[in-house]
Amino acid sequence: MGRRAGIAAFIGTTIEWYDFYIFGTASAIVLGKLFFPEVSPAVGVLASFATFWIGFVARPLGSIVFGHLGDRIGRKNTLIATLLLMGVATAGMGLLPTYHAVGVLAPVLLVLLRVVQGVAVGGEWGGAVLIATEHTERRRGFLFGAFAQQGSPTGQILAVLAFTAVSQLPDAAFVTWGWRLPFLASALLVIVGLIVRMRIQESPELLRLKETDQVARLPLVELLRTHRTTVALGLAASVVAYVASYLKNTFALSWATNDLGMSRDSMLTIILLATVAQFVAQPFGAVLGSRWNTRKVVTVLLILEIPAMPLLFWLISTRSFGLTLLGMVIATLPHVMFYALLAGMLAQAFPARVRYTGISVSYSAAGMLFGGGTPLIGQALLTATGSIVPVVAFAVLMVLLSLFGARALLARTAAAEGRDATAAGATQQPAAL
């Protein structure tokens, strides 16, 4: 049963992340021209990246709404709702008229659909992680949480493949209708995802809470009253998962094609190959974290990411396909292996009665405050200074923030488990004569 739940989580998150990633790819290469054509190309990219960020700003709303439903009603039905919502929004983007057709209404509709995407994915990730981790024993939580995390590189691979395919069209066809096809394809993927999710069973931990009448009445209120520090540390730990990913896959794509003159096809191929490397290497982070001291594994992985980020941008600046690919792979491996561990870390940090809300709020708030704004911040720093150095400094600072948050979160979880074990042992001692 646990394996089936893990596979279901993987398929569902793959579809959700495909929907989310195609917007990031499109915002880097085409949306600015179609929805913000009245401004300069640089400002158009900034505007499309701002719209990209809107999806992350909406994610905490989704985490609150769907976290409440997931903690009170059930993980399964909540995940079906998030998948439907995401599919409708993404397919709708593929049908939008552009600025030249309807004027300012076009970017307004684009922003509204991006908000719906954000709300959907805000509730998706936490539920998918719990469907995977709550169907297995705690000691295997990192491994089963990694099932859900594999949906991210798989969705990215599908998104890049989709845009690589339509990029083979003549420029006029690509700009006119080709860019729409990856969005419209989402409708077919959602049908597959719904069939899979309808066949999974409800989380056994939630069923136990319902049987013993321990379901939280207001999960968000309880979370903020008793677990504020855990939420803050979970947020900090999650930052690098967003920043490193969107610096590489969205900002770097725009910088390399618009500023350095690298071809769109070359950069999409590089991102695709680096994401394939992510898919292969990422689960090993969960394996390492399960077999050795998790805190030490996390520390090593994030320390390795610190020199990898400046190396990435230096190698991209060479405009060499091979060196750029090397930089992408080197910068990808440490943080994605950490990402494989992140799901289990967050799931173990919160009690079951507020777990859906807790991990969703922590993760989505990190996306709102740091991740979604990464391409925008990177482009703003580059435009203001004309140098990539401030962008690199921002990246390193975010890695350090996650290093602190992850170490502190793991230490706090271990201390809480130690207290629980001590309390359980005390209650089992025979009464003194």
- The pLDDT tens digits for 204-242 are 888 888 888 888 889 999 999 999 999 999 999 999 988
What pLDDT score was predicted for residue 215?
84
Taking residues 168-194, what's their average pLDDT? 88
Using CA atoms, how far residue 184 sits from 162, 390, 394, 408, in Å, is 11, 37, 35, 43
Q: How confident is the model at residue 337 (pLDDT cuts 50, 70, 90)?
A: very high
* Class of residue 246 by CB neighbours under 10 A (exposed 0-12, middle 13-18, buried 19+): buried
Greater confidence (409 vs 131) lies with 409
Query: What is residue 426's predicted lDDT score, i.e. its pLDDT?
Result: 53
**The pLDDT value given to residue 359:** 92
- Chain segment 292-310, per-residue pLDDT in tens: 888 999 999 999 999 999 9
Q: Is the dihedral of CA 191, 192, 197, 199 positive or negative?
A: positive
Higher confidence at residue 327 or residue 248? 327
| Helix orientation angle between 41-72 and 105-133, rounded to the nearest 10 degrees | 40
Reported as half-sphere exposure (CB side, CA atoms, 13 A), residue 55 has a value of 28
For residue 261, give the DSSP letter: -
Residue range 383-423, pLDDT digits in tens: 899 899 999 999 999 999 999 999 999 999 888 776 655 55
Q: What is the pLDDT of residues 93-123, one digit of tens each?
A: 999 999 889 888 988 898 899 899 889 888 8
Mean pLDDT lowest among 124-128, 179-183, 254-258: 124-128
pLDDT band, very low/low/confident/very high, at 287 (cuts 50, 70, 90): confident
State the CB neighbour count (10 A cutoff) for residue 327.
26
Please state the length of the chain.
433
Alpha-carbon distance of 66 to 223, in angstroms, equals 14
Does the domain formed by 2-416 have CATH 1.10.3720.10? no
What is the pLDDT at residue 138?
62
AA letter at 13? T
Residue 44 has pLDDT above 80, yes or no: no
Q: Could you tell me the residue ranges of all domains in the chain? A: 2-416
Q: What is the mean pLDDT of residues 130-155?
A: 76
pLDDT at 139: 60
Q: What is the full DSSP assignment across 28-89?
A: HHTHHHHH-TTS-HHHHHHHHHHHHHHHHHHHHHHHHHHHHHHHHT-HHHHHHHHHHHHHHH
> Alpha-carbon distance 145 to 342, whole Å?
8
**What does the pLDDT read at residue 315?**
96
Q: What is the mean pLDDT of the chain?
A: 85
Name the pLDDT band for 431 (thresholds 50, 70, 90): very low
User: Using alpha carbons only, how large is the chain's radius of gyration in Å?
Assistant: 21
Instruction: Say whether pLDDT at 156 is over 70.
Output: yes
Number of H helices and E strands in the chain, helices first, is 21, 0
Task: Report the alpha-carbon distance of residue 163 to residue 45 in Å, rounded.
Answer: 18
In whole angstroms, give the CA distance from residue 336 to residue 113.
28
Residue 293 DSSP label: -
> Residue 390 and residue 207: Cα distance in Å, rounded?
50
Q: Which residues contact 253 (CB under 8 A, 6 or more apart)?
A: 25, 28, 29, 267, 268, 271
**Contact at 8 Å (CB) between 405 and 240?**
no
Averaged pLDDT, 83-100: 90
Distance in angstroms (rounded) separating the CA atoms of residues 205 and 176 = 50
Amino acid in the structure at residue 219: P
pLDDT at position 232, please?
Answer: 95
User: Residue 52 in contact with residue 375, Cβ under 8 Å?
Assistant: yes
pLDDT value of position 92: 93
| 259 or 20, which is more confident | 259
215: helix, strand or coil: coil
Question: What integer is the mean pLDDT of 272-299?
Answer: 89
Q: Report which DSSP code applies to 432.
A: P
Residue that is written with structure tokens 């069939």 in the block: 195
Rounded Cα distance between 110 and 105, Å, is 9
